[in-house]
Amino acid sequence: MSLKIRVILVVVIGLIMGLSLSIGGALQAGRSGINQEATWEQAEFFAEVIERVKREYVEPVDDVALLEGAIRGMVSNLDSHSEYLDASEYRDIRISTSGSYIGVGIEVGHIGNAIRVISPIAGSPAARAGIRSGDELVAIDGLVIENDRLSDTIGRLRGQIGSKVTLSILRDGVVIDHGMQRQIIRVTSVYKDFLSPSYGYVRVNQFSDDTARELKFAIDDLQEANHGILEGLVLDLRNNPGGVLDSAVDVSDLFLDSGVIVTADGRTVESSFIRSASRGDILDGADMVVLVNGGSASASEIVAGALQDHNRATIVGMPTFGKGLVQTVMPLSKGRAIKITTSKYYTPSGVSIHEIGITPDVLIDDAQGFPDLSLAGVLDSEADQQLAEAILQLKPYSIMHSQSQ
């Protein structure tokens, strides 16, 4: 065994054994289920595999790349939402939660044994090409996707502005190729409009750091345009893949006067918490409907669950995606990071929606989806059955009478 591999082995053993020593030594380690002998054997085996790969793989393997690959595999094997982020990937994830990035505009995740589209972002090349929530991504530019390499897949979706890329999508047993050009994807986007006098509509595409502030400004604008009041509001979270948890809490808090918004349970003090609403409802109790579908995930489900449990809003649409886990991005040295699952979250009623989703109060299937508002620029309640139901749930007589004038 080479000296370098022996050093790696010592470091690995030291790190693992250090965990047990930090909580009280070998006796405590044994109580925690840590078998030091087995740990040593596995670390030796790890070093043996590295040595064999370095010596016999068909091409020379760089030590750094080999170890980084091992780290990536270790983290991604925890669950489908945990991943190692190199410096470039970490930079991308910071940008995507705070500003913009260059890509095709889809949120993807490792679901089952496939990489699937959680949601296309409104107005993006992917949305214009017709890519839908639930589509399986099987190839990029003709190169087959490796289902256990989510980070690599995301990296391949990014590129230079204006560059062309072809995504191969599997839907209903048929592979469809979609050609598109990468563009600047604006993550912070809140669309607003009036449904009729005194009734507003806001759509949130994704939860980033500024979402709650942007949403407040959008509602303020609608109220100001209507002499300071709104009699009702539709909050559209369809195909919203989620994002920053604190943003979801802040958005929920806009509409709640008191009570728990979300609770989380993890192994550390930081990962176990309760978030509650502060006093003040931006709508002063006006009627509210939240639209959701299978592409509404994570932070979207926190908002919908909080407003549903507090009877603050009627939820309309289809069952949501069902992601009830919280990921924390932890910076490492040299600009790298790991994103790992640290908590399970629960709605105010104490329910976990993981792999279940939130069931709307009013179920409305809309196989045709809904219009891309950033392109159409208008709301169409005739083509959008879920929106039509939301309008009925608000104020059926006054709105319908207003529309008929």
Q: Are residues 195 and 288 in the same domain?
A: yes
Lowest mean pLDDT among 223-232, 241-250, 308-317, 359-368: 359-368
Lowest mean pLDDT among 100-109, 169-178, 197-206, 207-216: 100-109
Mean pLDDT, all residues of the chain: 85
With contact defined as beta carbons under 8 Å apart, do 295 and 133 qualify? Answer: yes
Distance, CA of 121 to CA of 123 (rounded, Å): 6
**pLDDT for residue 6:** 61
**pLDDT for residue 27:** 38
Q: Are residues 216 and 302 in the same domain?
A: yes
**pLDDT for residue 274:** 97
Q: Are residues 181 and 197 in the same domain?
A: no
Q: Are residues 116 and 170 in the same domain?
A: yes
With contact defined as beta carbons under 8 Å apart, do 185 and 98 qualify? Answer: no
Q: Are residues 295 and 203 in the same domain?
A: yes
Question: For residue 20, what are the contacts with CB-CB under 8 A and spacing of at least 6?
Answer: 26, 28, 29, 32, 34, 36
Q: Of 303, 311, 239, which Cα lies nearest the Cα of 275? A: 303
Q: Dig out the tokens for 366 from the structure.
A: 């809309």
Q: Which of the pair, 118 or 301, is modelled with greater confidence?
A: 301
**pLDDT tens digit string along 59-107?**
998 888 888 888 899 999 999 889 999 888 888 778 767 667 789 988 7
**pLDDT for residue 26:** 40
**pLDDT for residue 13:** 58
Q: Which residue has the tokens 């490792």?
A: 110
- Give me the DSSP letters along 120-152: EPTTSHHHHHT--TT-EEEEETTEEPPTT-HHH
Q: Are residues 44 and 175 in the same domain?
A: no
Sign of CA dihedral 69, 72, 76, 81: negative
**pLDDT for residue 48:** 85
Number of domains forming the structure of the chain: 3
Q: Which of the pair, 149 or 330, is modelled with greater confidence?
A: 330
Residues identified as active-site: 298, 309, 323
Question: For residue 242, what are the contacts with CB-CB under 8 A and spacing of at least 6?
Answer: 107, 206, 207, 248, 297, 298, 299, 300, 301, 323
Q: Which domain holds residue 167?
A: 100-185
DSSP state of 329: E
Q: Are residues 141 and 247 in the same domain?
A: no
Q: Is 271 domain-assigned?
A: yes
Lowest mean pLDDT among 55-64, 136-145, 272-281: 55-64
Judged against a pLDDT cut of 60, whether residue 405 lies above it is answered with no
Q: Are residues 198 and 286 in the same domain?
A: yes
Indicate which CATH number applies to the domain containing 286.
3.90.226.10
